[in-house]
Amino acid sequence: ASDVYKRQTFGSNGLVITEIQENAQARTVLVQPDGLILSGGYSENKLVKQFALARYGTTGFLDPTFGSNGIVLTTINSVDCN
């Protein structure tokens, strides 16, 4: 197990949970040189799989200047339901 430093001023007690869709997971995190935080992962439901990015400010709020209110979704696989 690894120790994780939590900045108490980030989100709620150092943690942020962002609901993107019904099944989404963050898989990687990058702190940009300007201090903004980029999280990448995926989102999926029965019909669509999407690459998901979310960008946060230094206090844990989604960056409204990034994508659509801080979130970018790119479809990587879709299933025709007909």
- Convert the pLDDT of each residue in 20-51 to its tens digit: 887 888 999 999 999 899 999 998 887 888 99
Residue 3 has pLDDT above 70, yes or no: no
Overall average pLDDT of the 67-72 stretch: 95
CA distance 47 to 68: 21
The predicted structure's pLDDT at residue 71: 95
Burial class (CB in 10 A: 0-12, 13-18, 19+), 74: exposed
pLDDT band at 7 (very low <50, low <70, confident <90, very high): low
Query: Is the pTM of the predicted complex or chain greater than 0.95?
Result: no
The predicted structure's pLDDT at residue 55: 96
User: What's the mean per-residue pLDDT of the chain?
Assistant: 83
Per DSSP, the three-state class of 3 is coil
